[in-house]
Chains A and B, each alone.
Chain A
Amino acid sequence: MKIVIDYDLCESNAVCMGIAPEVFDVRDDDLLYLLDENPGDDLRPKVEEAARRCPKQAILIQD
């Protein structure tokens, strides 16, 4: 699973970090950092949940 963030869309709402902190990190500079671009399949449910709950739909999952 490969994750791509559309940084033009991302508004750093940080919803993704609340759901999958192993993968997404919004730091004190208010920017989103992708901790793991290719997380293991055990994290797939969380990453899909984060993608769905992103208010800007800025998280793309490429299989």
Chain B
Amino acid sequence: MDLERVVVVGASLAGLTAAASLREQGWDGHLVVVDAAMELPADRPPLSKQVLAGTMDSAAARQPLADRIDELDIDLRLGHRVEGFGADDHRIKFFNDHELTADGVIVATGANARWPAPRDELPAGVHVVRTLEDSLALKAELDTAAGPLVVLGAGFIGAEVAATARTAGHDVTMIEAAPQPLARVLPSEVGAAVAKLHRDHGVDVRVGVGFASIDAGPGGRVESVTLSDGSVVPASVVVAGLGADPSIEWLSGSGLSLGNGVVCDETLLAAPGVTAAGDVANWFNPTFGERMRVEQWDHAIESGRAAAVRLLAEAGGDAPQPFASVPWFWSDQYDRKLQMAGRPSGNDEAVVIDGELGAERFAVAFRRGDRCTGVLACNRPRLAVVSRTRMTQSLAWDHVVGA
């Protein structure tokens, strides 16, 4: 197969990394990167932290590859929303009926923040944090808010926003329907330690209770949030940290297999000549022996490169390599740097391997049978990275944690 033109759909970290990787592999064809956004998407990690806190200006929150677009000879087309795609003919249809065909396509459209209700039914003052625009809009409202902030959902984004706002002096209530924060990914005793961290800093953490409605006051601005137990929490600003859904609407009817994201094989191949990377890719990770979709910064880089290499391997007739990965992320909350390697579930056994759970420095390993599915380290970066390196070799508990 001749690869004369590759179109990367999505210009965030996964898409730009994929584009750069194509060049680094020596491919010199027509490289098009399209994105619906009017400006190159920002680097995301600072959006719930430094940008929101006002300690980093928006120009500094640009993506690492933003300065290399010309050097990489990327035909960057912003403001180009894709509305249709055919997996058989690789025909990409834009919102304005313009079309583009490609020999290879890399799907990297990421994910969209989940809103608590259709946006036109929500009062003013309700936010998500996904883009630079979101972060700046929230910061502007917090800067002038007279009253408290309510955070819906105690996942990592919610917890970071709560920490940032609380540190800035705002009254913050964080509401989580699960019995503890981070319940989807961490056993409850670890989530309880995170809840305690926020309570120690003065956040009103309410767990095991959902929200029933977001209520507008006179003038149409949010005034309060009514919880599922009937209690009413005053709110000048509301942030929804309810997770994100993969951006796959445009692939409906494309012939690609869609589930929780774009369903790929273990090499990130979704169809002949089509690979996926980043938040949108749902692939079989051979390291863990399970399908997963990972919304993390480092995963965007790793999978972006793997998706590019995979496309070139197919075109060149080379043997495809599985994308075997140990996910890793960090989250800064107050003076704690949480880092996690691996992919535990809330049902795994938590074993403290360093320090004391909830202390300033500690580490917890997660055990499922004879395997270590993850290591969470708090202010122990060396331990986190050593654990990740070991996990890339083997998940055997004795290998990662020691007998």
Chain A interface (Cβ within 8 Å of chain B)? 11-15, 17-18, 26-28, 30, 52-53, 55, 57
Contacts and interface: CB of A to CB of B under 8 A. Distances in A.
A18 B385 contact: yes
A26 B381 CA distance: 7
Given A53-B298, A53-B301, A14 B64 contact: no
B275 interface: no
Interface of B: 45, 64, 297-298, 301, 328, 330, 332, 337, 339, 379-382, 384-386, 388-389
Contacts of A30: 379-382
Which of B297, B339, B382 counts the most chain A CB atoms within 10 A? B382
Contacts of B301: 52-53
Given A15-B298, A18-B389, A55 B382 contact: no
A14 B379 contact: no
26 contacts: A12-B337, A13-B330, A13-B337, A13-B339, A13-B381, A14-B339, A14-B382, A15-B298, A15-B328, A15-B385, A17-B382, A17-B385, A18-B386, A18-B388, A26-B381, A28-B382, A30-B379, A30-B380, A30-B382, A52-B64, A52-B301, A53-B298, A53-B301, A55-B45, A55-B330, A57-B64
Contacts of B379: 30
A17 B385 CA distance: 7
A60 to B, nearest CB: 12
Between A11, A14, A28, the greatest number of chain B beta carbons within 10 A of the residue's beta carbon is seen for: A14
Is chain B's interface secondary structure helix, strand, loop, or mixed overall?
helix
A11 B337 contact: yes
Nearest to B64: A57
A7 B385 CA distance: 19
A27 B382 contact: yes
Nearest to B381: A14
Contacts of A17: 382, 385
Given A52-B64, A55-B45, 14 more contacts: A11-B337, A13-B381, A14-B339, A14-B382, A14-B385, A15-B298, A17-B382, A17-B385, A18-B386, A18-B388, A18-B389, A26-B381, A53-B301, A55-B297
Nearest to A57: B64
A11 B379 CA distance: 11
B75 to A, nearest CB: 22
Contacts of A18: 385-386, 388-389
Nearest to B337: A11
Contacts of B339: 13-14
A11 B331 CA distance: 12
Contacts of B64: 52, 57
